[in-house]
Chain A
Amino acid sequence: MKKTFEGKRIFMIDLQESWCEAAASLLAQRNYLVKTSNAYSYSEPTCYVEGEAPDVVILSCGSVERGERQLVRKIIAHKRHLIVLCAVLAREESRRLFLAGAQDVAHKPFSCSSLLTIVGNSLAGQEIKDCFRERMLRK
């Protein structure tokens, strides 16, 4: 039976308010607790991540520029699981994001189901069953 992750707290950041709200309402239908941010600057979301420690942070953007990279670093520094969704994404950029510590990097999904799959996989991936690896990654 597929595991559900109801009640997990998801924080979605997208400067584009309409996309952010649409994705949030979709996730809320699956009983995720969703909080959104479409503030003009990235400092507000950083404070929220630091204070509330959500289970998953989704950074949704058009492309990854300097500001996004800084935000990624800050979120990872707070040991949060981060998914980066991007409209335009070069492979080398995705490699850099993974190396920086992003848990998943994907193109902005075109369908509801693919967004749910990305989030579901991320939450499932947090439950590492191999204890030796769990210890290694935690360090």
Chain B
Amino acid sequence: MLSRKDAKKVVRREFRILIVDDVVEVCTSIEGFLASEGYDAESAHTLDEAWDRLNNSFYHVLILDINLRGDEQPENDDGLQLLRKLDHKGLLSATQVIMYSDRGSLERYREAFGKFHVEDFLEKVRNTPADLVTAIKKIAKEKAQINLSLNTRWPKDLNPLQVVVNLNIAGTRVKDHSSLQEQLATELDDLLCRLFYKSASVLLKPLSSGQSGSAVMLATPFFKKTGAGQAVVVKFGDHSQINQEWQNFKEFVQLYLGGNRSTNVIDLRRSLHLGGIVYSLLGSASDQVESFRSFYARADVRKIKIALQRLFQETCKQWYANRGVLQLLDLTHEYAQQRLGLSTGRLERAISEGLKGVHGKRELYFDALSTKRAFTSPVVDLRTQEYLASTYECSTHGDLNGDNILIDQDAHAWLIDFSLTGPGHILRDFAELDGAIRFQFLKPEEATLEERLVMEDVLAVPQHFSEVNKLPEKLETENAALAKAYETTLYLRKLAQQTVSSNPTDEIREYNVALYYYSLNALRFYSWPQIQRQHALLSASILFDLIN
């Protein structure tokens, strides 16, 4: 890992300008004028060279000629082609463009201004490089909406280089000491200067860097005249993922989330690779919010229950209220194929190669268990499975893990990360969180597999959903962490039961099917400790027997 001193070097800030003109002398002249005003600029002389630079680095301003092939091809419009390519890639929202050409015509003005929203179109014959500098200054001040003097305050043990590790950018996980890491650290700093362009400084605190390949931070902006602002949540990651998140937010969240604890989007920006979204947490009284995972670790069960109740019955109330009528849902299609993308081969490999101390094929035996109890292998040919249920469909979060729920000191709940939000099985979010609490929140050192099995056996008793209410309130155990996981899970299942209590079938099978698929999915989390994945396998096996 690079030192803090090195990290500071990486984030040296400057207004980045690219000049694209086939005439070298024009570029040199503009570069000279810009240098005299304190701007550093780079030049490219062909379409390919410009495209290459724009794909490997980011620029705040692009100065673009239209004809990039000189007098030999007077009709050439490579510059406009470059604009079209940038537009197609969505990069015109990250770079402001000034056309600088002697090939202007009304039609070209219309295309450049009307379609691509260029900032200006200056004709070389009428405007000198000095005029160009004036236009750039205006953009830097008024249009670019960026504050390169932003004072970003990171926690002592954290810097942008560390934060970008593990981000998933276009399918590639960012590795430590890679060139992509260095580039993204610079981009992240630039992104923050864009997202907080009205602030003088911003204080950052990590909230989570999840499995989803994005990162979430709590940010408190400070303004020159008015001092500290309300803390907000910043999420950043691959720009297309952030874009999807915004689209889902508009469609499924903006109008529905309520209970005076709504999440709202207050800004959205992008750089070359990264997109960033700023959420305000409406109704939060302080900046003391934390992820549900860390809240769970330190809070008592009573407070956890309050948070869960508020999450499902206040924050997400409108989603469940708008669930429509009972319908026939193919849960296998929804979970195994559409949502989780499970495949038999990969699951078999996850058990045979990734799990130590588990033997057998059709029947599984666990070394960590003292009894020689045989468990049915839950991994079968998924293509032949078909679990249907008469149930409800409504908007769901789609990725309700412990990092996407934020809790404040008063146990009020907010949701973030809407990249998978959309219509789905009404119990989807309950089931996912259920699995996270039992497998993940219960830390490896907190309970043995034997103890975990006791909890699973008790939770598997109900034949009907309403029977969840008859389960013992407390597990007979001296293990406090296990008792906490059991009580929390039981309460969550009671909330799930209440949510579908109007369903006359009273079947718990639909919930068990959802749990079964999420348990199978957890087998693929290779970064989890062995015991947590073995627990997931045990759970999947018990559920498999129940639903068949």
Give the docked Cα–Cα distance between A133 and B114 (Å).
14
Q: Mark A85-115, 1 if CB is under 8 A from B, else 0.
A: 0000101101100110001111100000000
By the criterion CB–CB under 8 Å, are A132 and B106 in contact?
A: no
Query: Shortest beta-carbon distance, A59 to chain B, in Å?
Result: 15
Residues of B within 8 A of A135 (CB): 93, 267-269
Query: Shortest beta-carbon distance, B195 to chain A, in Å?
Result: 11
Across the interface, B110 reaches (CB within 8 A) one of A105, A133, A136, namely: A105
By the criterion CB–CB under 8 Å, are A132 and B109 in contact?
A: no
Query: Shortest beta-carbon distance, B533 to chain A, in Å?
Result: 37
Residues of A within 8 A of B104 (CB): 91
Give the docked Cα–Cα distance between A92 and B122 (Å).
9
By the criterion CB–CB under 8 Å, are B94 and A103 in contact?
A: no
B120 interfacial by beta-carbon distance below 8 Å:
yes
Residues of A within 8 A of B90 (CB): 130, 132-133
A-B interface contact total, Cβ < 8 Å: 64
Residues of B within 8 A of A107 (CB): 106
Residues of B within 8 A of A98 (CB): 109, 113-114, 121
A137 interfacial by beta-carbon distance below 8 Å:
yes
Residues of B within 8 A of A92 (CB): 126
Across the interface, B268 reaches (CB within 8 A) one of A94, A95, A131, namely: A131
Nearest CB in chain B to that of A122: its residue: B114
Q: Mark A56-95, 1 if CB is under 8 A from B, else 0.
A: 0000000000000000000000000000000001011011
Give the docked Cα–Cα distance between A94 and B108 (Å).
11
Most chain B C-beta atoms within 10 Å of own C-beta, residue among A92, A99, A130, A139: A130
A125 interfacial by beta-carbon distance below 8 Å:
yes
Tell me the dominant secondary structure on chain A's binding face: helix
Nearest CB in chain A to that of B90: its residue: A130
Number of interface residues of A (CB under 8 A): 22
Across the interface, A103 reaches (CB within 8 A) one of B92, B114, B126, B246, namely: B114
Number of interface residues of B (CB under 8 A): 28
B443 interfacial by beta-carbon distance below 8 Å:
no
Across the interface, B114 reaches (CB within 8 A) one of A125, A130, A137, namely: A125
B73 interfacial by beta-carbon distance below 8 Å:
no
Give the docked Cα–Cα distance between A103 and B113 (Å).
8
Across the interface, A132 reaches (CB within 8 A) one of B114, B121, B239, namely: B239
Across the interface, A125 reaches (CB within 8 A) one of B94, B105, B115, B246, namely: B115
B145 interfacial by beta-carbon distance below 8 Å:
yes
Residues of A within 8 A of B16 (CB): none
Residues of A within 8 A of B123 (CB): 91
Q: Mark B266-280, 1 if CB is under 8 A from A, else 0.
A: 011110000100000
By the criterion CB–CB under 8 Å, are A131 and B115 in contact?
A: no
Contact residues of A between 9 and 25, Cβ < 8 Å to B: none
By the criterion CB–CB under 8 Å, are B93 and A94 in contact?
A: no
Residues of A within 8 A of B117 (CB): 133, 137
Query: Shortest beta-carbon distance, A78 to chain B, in Å?
Result: 19
Give the docked Cα–Cα distance between A132 and B236 (Å).
13
Give the docked Cα–Cα distance between A106 and B114 (Å).
11
B243 interfacial by beta-carbon distance below 8 Å:
yes
By the criterion CB–CB under 8 Å, are B109 and A99 in contact?
A: no
B247 interfacial by beta-carbon distance below 8 Å:
yes
Give the docked Cα–Cα distance between A99 and B275 (Å).
28
Nearest CB in chain B to that of A95: its residue: B121
* A-B residue pairs in contact (CB < 8 Å), sample of 6: A94-B109, A121-B114, A130-B90, A130-B92, A132-B93, A133-B92
Which B residues form the contact surface with A (CB < 8 A)? Answer: 87, 90, 92-94, 104-106, 109-110, 113-115, 117, 120-121, 123, 126, 145, 239, 243, 246-247, 267-270, 275
8 new A-B contacts, CB < 8 A, other than A91-B109, A132-B93, A133-B90, are A92-B126, A94-B106, A99-B120, A105-B110, A131-B243, A132-B239, A133-B93, A135-B93
